[in-house]
Amino acid sequence: MRVRFPVRSRRSAGLIGAGFVLASGISVGAYMWPEGRSATETEMQAAESAIRHARDAGANRWAPEALAEAVAGYREAIASYHRERSRFRLARDYSDIRSAFRQAERQAAAAAEMAGRRLSETRAAAEAALDRAERSLDSAEFLSRSTPSLGFERTLLRRSRIALEEARSLADEGDFPRAALRANEALAGVRQALDRTGSRAARYVDPDEVRKWREWIDATVDWSRRKRRPAIVVYKDRQELVLLEDGEAVRSFVADIGSNSLETKRHAGDEATPEGRYRVESKLDSGRSIYYKALRLDYPNRDDVERFRRARREGRVPKDVGVGSAIEIHGEGGRGRNWTRGCVAISNASMDELFERIRVGTPVTIVGGDGSGGTFSDLIRWGAANGESR
């Protein structure tokens, strides 16, 4: 005879099965949750790792809001995780918690990326400020050294140099915001010093002056081309002597000029190099010149004398001084600064070469510049541009 047992519902069967497992001492979680819990802990660890990485990337400083959001989400997920674990095992659900950990991981990664981007931008801004300050300060210091009579505030430049050195130290330490601040303070000091140059330096960018100088240069080039003979052009703005042959520039020499380099010569003793169109009056070989060899120019010419007389009538030169003389192109130059009493100095090796190629009567044109740039004009333009942005 076949014995039939009563049919129980699936729910009852499930409860009986669960009761069996519990009664037998075997954990339900061991059968029903090990994979879910392991996945949750993996995502928890991934979020923790992402937050650590964000902190290592400097998010505490460069992306604090984004990092705080990631940490808050992570902590909330941790709290939910512990609450869920306190519930009956069969009733636990980690799906939302896993999503929260993944969200915290994404937020931490975004914070790390933001920190890296902001750090890079801040570093670039600091480096740009340092570069601007360095270049501008170098030029200002050169101008200050080159022009003893210039009304430069050397104290301001010294303070600017100290500020720049501090800025570089801060940049080396990774403190880029403060580095940029100190670099900009150095720039401000340079700007103040530059303001002291006044109208004397502005002449190097004056359109009328530049136009006049270009006319002199063009006339000298044209003469050299027509006569098929050498000529010389001296550019005070970029401290350069250019040798022309057949109207073409064939050699360029570094030239030191008068210590009062911003001015054109007005009278004897002002230590300024004259500007005008001259000729080689005589050649002085070794032993006949104070400074190695020399090419003496016919300064003062008629224009120089007339300019001097006009300045005297207008009270712009002392009554007890003359127009000056003995302006030369001579050796012993290449000192990296403007130091002469009004002459043009090149190195002895350059002087040897020039001496052999130049004869008496060779045209020598001395100009402030040609508008293409130089130590003085570039610095004035920089000051004007930065002055507008203050």
Structure confidence at residue 19 (pLDDT): 39
Q: Where on the phi/psi map is residue 244: left (φ > 0), alpha (ψ -120 to 50), or beta?
A: beta
Alpha-carbon Rg for the chain in angstroms: 40
18 band by pLDDT with thresholds 50, 70 and 90: very low
Separation between Cα atoms, residue 333 and residue 354, nearest integer Å: 13
The more confident residue out of 19 and 206 is 206
Structure confidence at residue 22 (pLDDT): 35
147 band by pLDDT with thresholds 50, 70 and 90: low
Structure confidence at residue 29 (pLDDT): 36
How large a percentage of the chain has pLDDT more than 70?
A: 84
In contact, 253 and 346? CB cutoff 8 Å: yes
Separation between Cα atoms, residue 55 and residue 57, nearest integer Å: 5
In contact, 294 and 385? CB cutoff 8 Å: no
Query: What is the dotted CATH code of the domain comprising 205-374?
Result: 2.40.440.10
The more confident residue out of 195 and 261 is 261
User: Architecture of 120-201 per CATH?
Assistant: Up-down Bundle (1.20)
In contact, 177 and 126? CB cutoff 8 Å: yes
Structure confidence at residue 26 (pLDDT): 33
Structure confidence at residue 212 (pLDDT): 97
Of 21-35, 88-102, 133-147, 188-202, the one with minimum mean pLDDT is 21-35
The more confident residue out of 181 and 287 is 181
128 pLDDT above the threshold of 70: yes
Q: Quote the mean pLDDT of the chain.
A: 86
The more confident residue out of 128 and 24 is 128
How large a percentage of the chain has pLDDT more than 90?
A: 67
262 band by pLDDT with thresholds 50, 70 and 90: confident
In contact, 200 and 260? CB cutoff 8 Å: no
Hey, where are the domains in the chain? 10-118, 120-201, 205-374
Is pTM beyond 0.95? Reply is no
Residue 265's Cβ-side half-sphere holds a number of Cα atoms within 13 Å equal to 34
Give the end-to-end CA distance of the chain in Å, rounded to a whole number: 109
Burial 63-79 (b: 16+ CB within 10 A, else e): beebbebbbebbeebbe
